[in-house]
Amino acid sequence: MALRRGFQDHFDWPLFVTTAAISVVGVINLYSASSAAGGALRDVYIQQIYWLTLGAGAAVLVAAVDYRHFERFGWVAYGVGITLLVLVFLLAREIRGSQRWIPIGSFSLQPSELMKLFFIIALAKHLHNDPRTEGRTLKDLIIPGLILLFPLMLILAQPDLGTALILVFVFCTIMVLTHLKFRSLATLVVTLAASAPMAWEYLLKDYQRERVTSFLNPEKDVLGSGWHAYQAKVAIGSGGILGKGFLQGTQNQHKFLPDQHSDFPFPVWAEEHGFLGSVVLIMLYMVLVLWGIKIASEAKDRFGAVVAVGVSALIFWQTVINLGMVCGLLPVVGITLPLFSYGGSSVLTIMAGIGLLMNVSMRRFHF
Amino acid sequence: MNLLSVRREVGEFRKRYKWMVLFVLVAMSTIMGRLFQLQIMQNARWQVEAERNITKVVRLPATRGIIRDYKGRIIAQNRPAYNVYVTPQLVGEEQLNALAELLSLDADAKQRFAKRMESVPARRRSHFVLAFNDITRDQYAAIETHRRELPGLNVVATPVRSYPFKALGAHTIGFLNEVSAEDLKRLTGLGYGAGQSVGRSGVERAWESYLRGKDGELRVVVDVQGQELDGTPHRVAQHAVREEPTPGLDLRVTLDMDMMRAAERAFRGQPSGGVAVVDIKTGRVRALYSKPGYDLNEMGGGLSELRAKELFENPFRPLIDKTTYETYFPGSTFKPISAIAALQDSIMTPSVHYDCPGYYELGQRRFRCSHVHGDTDMREAITQSCNVYFYKLAEQVGIDRIAAYAREFGLGQKTGLGINTEASGFVPTRDWYAKNHNNKYHLGFTLNTAIGQGDTRVTLIQLAMLYSAIASGGALYVPQLVERVEQADGSIVEEFPPRVRRHINVDPVHIALIKQGLLGVVNDREGTAYEARVEGGVIVAGKTGTAEVSKHKLNPREDPRREWYNRRAHSWFAGFAPADNPELAIAVIVEHGGQGGKFAAPIATSVLQDALGGGDPNKNKPLLISKKP
């Protein structure tokens, strides 16, 4: 009974409308992005509809259960996520030099996507159960650090730099919520800065280093590793104010955009709908993220607040990094644009995340 | 509900939210700012880039103008060469094998091709790249049959130059070859691109801008693979453009290829030399023949390294144009100038007699004559080429007066033929000798100069123009090589009238005397070229020359085994015909031929006979064993 009343009275319409708008626009854009491609990619937009529907179902389920149950089973979820990540190494096929997918029938599951949510929940549970308000020291960061570390290592080993990066950014955003002592913060920053060259040397693969260098020096190698970024810029820039029109983008239709359905759907949109279309889309993402923060600020407990911030951060960072990458502000990393990029696991994860936001939002008047 | 614990310590987070909101706003604004920059401020630039991405330009080469001789025979024309272009990106193992089979390449050639495809830089991999030049018709047929199986392949028929006369007139007509990086720098803005040909020598080079025409281009819409797109008509209509090439203009040159043939024929048995024939009434060049030559058809780019080496190292220097670029001592062909200087400036009268004992003594030195001529007047001195007479003449006339007339008749300056690198030759003066011989001029220089030895140097074309001026009574023309410019349909675009460089002021009486002397050279029993006359044929007047080559200035790299040849005198003949009403002037040099009368003169009379007398007058007579009277 409580559930039905909650849905009726407190259903978060702005959240729903924004999400739906992005999803619909995304499908339309995928239709254009895949119209030039042949073969199996031709109907990814239909598959995307399936995934969105499935994701909507998942969101309803996630929203229906009081989120405090998630808090109780936080560690379990975390454990399941880690297990799946380990399973990747046992079961996965290698695609383009990395193992990310577990085949399930004709589908393949990308556990690193789901892990994003499990990680947020686990971190939220930890902070929820550690209700201090005084400044934290480095010692207090050990457990959150460990919560991050296990999935991070497993994901880096796949290797999937993009997802790992998102995990780190989401972690940092959530930790910003808590109060860290200045000295601890300083120590942390100095240590990280000092270890950056080490990471460059040992953690990054050659192709990743190449992407960074080609980003820093884009004119050097337009047709090598800078090709993707350059053609994306051409697509966006040639769109102009109003764009070339639906299905009329030459960069897209003539296949100059690589991965236009996964990592580069935004240039397709920007080319065909121009600056105005782009701004509308970015506004939608902005509303979604800001609305997530609003939900966090109105949450009744720490768990809800952390989860809402975590999901918002997830959406925010993926959006900003993907857009920054396609318009040449950031180096190329494989990070998808939420609900815009084609991808089952990605859509499911974001939709489930939206479900979590809805959950927190609807229960702000409870207990 | 006690199962679900409630903790309300969310207050700590509150103050962070507004910073987060601010951060989100800043980040999103940055992205929108960037989009503003890309899509609105830099829009034009990226649009050009996007356009360039999808357009592939195929050059449609213009047909080069045809060169005809003055009787209308084709000297240079075009034939189609089938060139194979491929898109390297689309050439995989399979295509490579198919192509190799169709073109019947051997393993070596196939590997070379594969390597070349690999070396194509990434930015050109989606474009057409020239793979094979001038394939045979069989290869072309094979490719056309299997065209469907070879994506991104294109066979373009490009006109290439073809020269039906092969080596005949090679230096004058010239050839084309591919533009070099330096050319491209020199020719910026004229639409030359890598792989195109440019006139390299002769008329082909000098008249490049007329002959070349303007290339057209075909723009096709392609995808990232370089594949042409069809089925998107509205977009193709927007981008695909065909700009037709403008053919080059045809040239009618003044050369007479029959006369060139006659020169070639007359030169058989002699390895090296040249012939220049000009029309006396117009200055139009009828023949410029330099031996040995090279086949123009092989110079277009297919010249193998071995063949190039052969050409470069040939001791008879086929690459040197002996009609305009090489200079020689004129030898006795110079004597008419000395005579004119003496007569025109009233230093001597033609009736002055000198006795020739076979030598002339000047101080310690003895200047030789060919033999003892005895008592001679000026006409006889010319006819018999008596050096002693001219030594004595030179003493009175002086070197500077001779030099002045030499220059007046066009020596020491370029004639203005307008092709290749023309040499100026050299006319020494008293000052020059003084400056170059420790300030010690002495009379010996003048004596040598008067008989065409010493330091005077002339080109074959200069000498032909000089004798043309004598024959015409003083009209020195600019030698003309191109008569008119025509369109393909024969309509005249531009016509070039004869150009007189100057009228030389010489008394007709003096000219008549000189001509008498020259007539005697070939037709008097004492004449130095009497042996070369054509019995019953065209009457030729002219002067032989035997130009001693310097004994000191042998090229140190020269093969000592060739020394006997290299030290032999050059054989000259210069003159005109018919003697009474001159039409053609001729200059012939046989390098290291020896005596002028024996070697150069028969070539000259033979060419003139062919040109003016309709061939050998004795050719159709019954063969008799002739008894000399």
For residue B585, what is the domain's CATH number?
3.40.710.10
In a 3-state reduction of DSSP, which class is residue A237? helix
A296 in contact with B at a CB cutoff of 8 Å? yes
Question: What are the tens digits of pLDDT across the range A64-75?
Answer: 998 888 988 989
Q: At what angle do helices A161-177 and B11-36 cross, to 10 degrees?
A: 140
Query: How much is the pTM?
Result: 0.67
Q: Which residue has the higher pLDDT, A101 or B5?
A: A101
CA distance B354 to B374: 8
CA distance B398 to B394: 6
Q: If you count them, how many residues does chain B have?
A: 629
Quote the tokens at residue B285: 């060049």
Quote the tokens at residue B447: 């004596």
Residue B33: is it exposed, middle or buried by C-beta count within 10 angstroms (0-12/13-18/19+)? Answer: exposed
Q: Which residue has the higher pLDDT, B93 or A203?
A: B93
Question: What are the tens digits of pLDDT across the range A278-291?
Answer: 999 999 999 999 99
Question: What pLDDT was estimated at residue B358?
Answer: 87
Question: What are the tens digits of pLDDT across the range B327-375?
Answer: 999 999 999 999 999 999 888 888 888 999 888 888 888 888 888 888 9
| Residue B308 falls in which region: left (phi positive, over 0), alpha (psi -120 to 50) or beta | alpha
Q: Which residues of chain B have pLDDT under 70?
A: 1-12, 228-240, 301-302, 550-558, 615-629
Residues of B in contact with A275 (CB under 8 A): 35-36, 39-40
Question: What pLDDT was estimated at residue B563?
Answer: 77
Whether residue A220 is predicted with pLDDT greater than 60 in this model: the reply is no
A323 in contact with B at a CB cutoff of 8 Å? yes
Co-location of B585 and B540 in the same domain: yes
Co-location of B208 and B272 in the same domain: no
Enumerate residues 238 to 257 of chain A having a beta carbon within 8 A of any beta carbon in chain B.
238-241, 248, 250-251, 253-256
Question: What pLDDT was estimated at residue B543?
Answer: 94
Q: How many CB atoms lie within 10 A of CB B488?
A: 12
Residues of B in contact with A131 (CB under 8 A): 7, 9
DSSP per position, B361-416: EETTEEEE-SS--EEE-HHHHHHHT-HHHHHHHHHHH-HHHHHHHHHHTTTTS---
Question: What pLDDT was estimated at residue A245?
Answer: 86
Residue of B20, B24, B38 lying closest to A233 (CB–CB): B38
Residue B47 placed within a domain:
no
Closest CA to B333 of B554, B69, B158, B528: B528
Closest CA to B60 of B284, B242, B264: B242
Question: What are the tens digits of pLDDT across the range A114-146?
Answer: 999 999 999 999 988 876 767 777 788 888 899
CA separation (Å) from B416 to A62, B278, B419? 96, 14, 8
Residues of A in contact with B30 (CB under 8 A): 329
Q: Which residues contact B416 (CB under 8 A, 6 or more apart)?
A: B422, B478, B479, B501
Residue of A293, A299, A328 lying closest to B10 (CB–CB): A299
Closest CA to B592 of B316, B406, B366, B372: B316
Give how far A124 is from chain B: nearest CA, Å: 12
What is the separation of C-alpha A168 from the centre of its chain, rounded to a whole number of angstroms? Answer: 12
Residue B186 placed within a domain:
yes
Pairing of strands B153-162, B176-178: unpaired
| Residue A323 falls in which region: left (phi positive, over 0), alpha (psi -120 to 50) or beta | alpha
A301 to B10: CB separation less than 8 angstroms, yes or no: yes
Instruction: Determine the Cα angle at A360 with ends A358 and A365, to 5°.
Output: 110
Domain at B220, CATH number: 3.90.1310.10
CA separation (Å) from A221 to A47, A213, B258, B576? 36, 10, 61, 70
Q: Which residues contact A334 (CB under 8 A, 6 or more apart)?
A: A160, A161, A162, A263
Residues of B in contact with A305 (CB under 8 A): 10, 13
CA distance B177 to A106: 62
Residue A332: is it exposed, middle or buried by C-beta count within 10 angstroms (0-12/13-18/19+)? Answer: buried
Co-location of B205 and B278 in the same domain: no
Residue at a domain's end among B188, B223, B248: B248
Co-location of B351 and B242 in the same domain: no
Residues of A in contact with B224 (CB under 8 A): 254-256
Residue B79 placed within a domain:
yes
Q: Which domain holds residue B461?
A: 257-294+321-553+561-612
Residue B12 placed within a domain:
no
Q: Domain count for chain B, please give it.
A: 2
Q: Which residues contact B38 (CB under 8 A, 6 or more apart)?
A: A233, A236, A237, A327, A328, B46
- A16 backbone dihedrals φ, ψ, rounded to 5°: -65, -50
Co-location of B435 and B367 in the same domain: yes
Q: At what angle do helices B107-118 and B93-102 cross, to 10 degrees?
A: 140
Co-location of B188 and B274 in the same domain: no
B46 to A309: CB separation less than 8 angstroms, yes or no: no
B28 to A223: CB separation less than 8 angstroms, yes or no: no
A278 to B20: CB separation less than 8 angstroms, yes or no: no
Residue B427 placed within a domain:
yes
Average pLDDT, chain A: 85
CA distance B97 to B85: 16
Residue of A177, A279, A323 lying closest to B13 (CB–CB): A177
Question: Chain B residue closest to A325 (CA)?
Answer: B31
Residues of A in contact with B120 (CB under 8 A): none
B8, B18, B23, B24: which to substitute to probe chain A, counting the most A Cβ within 10 Å? B24
- State ipTM: 0.91
Instruction: Please report, as a single letter, which amino acid is at residue B471.
Output: A
A236 to B38: CB separation less than 8 angstroms, yes or no: yes
Co-location of B221 and B283 in the same domain: no
Co-location of B150 and B278 in the same domain: no
Co-location of B240 and B367 in the same domain: no
A178 in contact with B at a CB cutoff of 8 Å? yes
Tokens 């924004």 belong to residue: A18
Residue B193 placed within a domain:
yes
A293 to B20: CB separation less than 8 angstroms, yes or no: yes
Enumerate residues 62 to 81 of chain A having a beta carbon within 8 A of any beta carbon in chain B.
66, 68-69, 72
Contact B511, B474 (CB under 8 A): yes
Question: What pLDDT was estimated at residue A127?
Answer: 87
A136, A177, A227, A247: which to substitute to probe chain B, counting the most B Cβ within 10 Å? A177
Question: Chain B residue closest to A257 (CA)?
Answer: B224
Residue B27 placed within a domain:
no
A68 to B222: CB separation less than 8 angstroms, yes or no: no
Question: What pLDDT was estimated at residue B628?
Answer: 43
Question: What are the tens digits of pLDDT across the range B397-453?
Answer: 999 999 999 999 999 999 999 888 899 999 999 989 888 887 788 888 899 899 998
Q: Which residue has the higher pLDDT, B519 or A38?
A: B519
Residues of B in contact with A240 (CB under 8 A): 39-40, 43, 47
A152 in contact with B at a CB cutoff of 8 Å? no
Give how far B92 is from chain A: nearest CA, Å: 19
Co-location of B361 and B241 in the same domain: no
Co-location of B571 and B544 in the same domain: yes
Region of poorest pLDDT, from A16-20, A88-92, A159-163, B623-627: B623-627
Contact B126, B89 (CB under 8 A): yes
B35 to A179: CB separation less than 8 angstroms, yes or no: no
Contact A10, A362 (CB under 8 A): yes
Co-location of B267 and B206 in the same domain: no
A141 in contact with B at a CB cutoff of 8 Å? no
Quote the tokens at residue A154: 């497993």
Pairing of strands B273-279, B584-590: antiparallel
Residue A272: is it exposed, middle or buried by C-beta count within 10 angstroms (0-12/13-18/19+)? Answer: buried
Q: How many CB atoms lie within 10 A of CB A346?
A: 25
Question: What pLDDT was estimated at residue B548?
Answer: 83
Alpha helices, DSSP H only, in B386-535? 387-397, 399-408, 430-436, 443-450, 460-472, 508-523
Q: Of all residues in chain A, what percent carry a pLDDT higher than 90?
A: 41
Provide the b/e sequence for B228-238 (b: ≥16 CB within 10 Å). Answer: ebeebeebeee
B38 to A301: CB separation less than 8 angstroms, yes or no: no
Quote the tokens at residue B313: 């190292």
Residues of B in contact with A235 (CB under 8 A): 50
B24 to A293: CB separation less than 8 angstroms, yes or no: yes
Residue B310 placed within a domain:
no
Q: Which residues contact B189 (CB under 8 A, 6 or more apart)?
A: none
Question: What pLDDT was estimated at residue A139?
Answer: 81
Region of poorest pLDDT, from A30-44, A236-250, B456-470: A30-44
